[in-house]
Structure 1
């Protein structure tokens, strides 16, 4: 099943960008450390979210609908949300982060972390932070949590 999913995700990446994004990521990795790349992608995500604000949402279901509308329009996969006692669990599926190459999966998810941080802060999650809690998995999922995280 993982091979089928890999094939479909690879087809999602436009051929006109594939080579350029892989080369860009390789140059970034040669010049910038992983922590700095994560910070850069987080800032890029914040900038993206600020340019694409979410509408007001009155529930977790409404929030999931608003998020999925954006991701669907951009062909950036989809998200599932779950309220937990001490956090909001965010699982993002099928983000085209593989376009940057396999080694970039260590730092490109920070883009989504920045997007979710900015969107959720704007919706009132002041004092809470979004943290990536899983690596990009073979089923194309990346998990984040909104909550109180140690600094």
Structure 2
């Protein structure tokens, strides 16, 4: 059913617009589920994983890198929309992470998808200075 829905979306709406739509949906999802205050990367990971566990939407690993925060989300059910939808469905996660991190004070920083959905069911996003 989700693959048929995604096929119809793609037939009616371009992929760029679908990414924008999914980003807005993710942002709305996150705004309705605010995170508690987080004082470290570990506490942020714990808060995010509690939320994803309750939603049955996989789990996340965070890593502080030199120039960015790496956010690797595993086991999101994005393939349920079909292989071609993996071009735009990750924007849901991008929008959710952008909303949560902005609410926690990451002003002037942006979340960007840094990898495709991998064989390990993971997809990386990076929080870095906005371009």
Q: TM-score, normalised by structure 1?
A: 0.85
Q: How far off is 1:102 after superposition? A: 1.0
Deviation per CA, 1:54-90: give whole Å up to 9, x if none.
0000000000000000001111000000001111000
Q: How far off is 1:149 after superposition? A: 3.8
Q: What RMSD over aligned residues (CA atoms) do the two structures have, in Å? A: 0.7
Residue 42, structure 1, aligned to residue 23, structure 2:
yes
Structure 2 residue aligned with 1:89, among 55, 62, 70? 70
Unaligned 5+ segments in structure 1 are: 1-18
Q: How far off is 1:135 after superposition? A: 0.4
Q: How far off is 1:104 after superposition? A: 0.4
User: Structure 1 segments of 4 or more deviating over 3 A?
Assistant: none
* Partner Cα separation in structure 2 for residue 149 and residue 143 of structure 1: 17
Task: Decide which structure has greater helix share.
Answer: 1
Q: 1:114-125 maps to which residues of 2 (within 5 A)?
A: 114-125=95-106
* Partner Cα separation in structure 2 for residue 105 and residue 149 of structure 1: 24
Q: TM-score, normalised by structure 2?
A: 0.98
Residue 108 of structure 2 aligns to a residue in which SS?
coil
Q: How many residue pairs were aligned?
A: 131
Residue 104, structure 1, aligned to residue 85, structure 2:
yes
Q: Is the 8 A contact 1:68 1:78 kept in 2?
A: yes
For 1:143, the equivalent position in structure 2 comes to 124
Residue 75, structure 1, aligned to residue 43, structure 2:
no
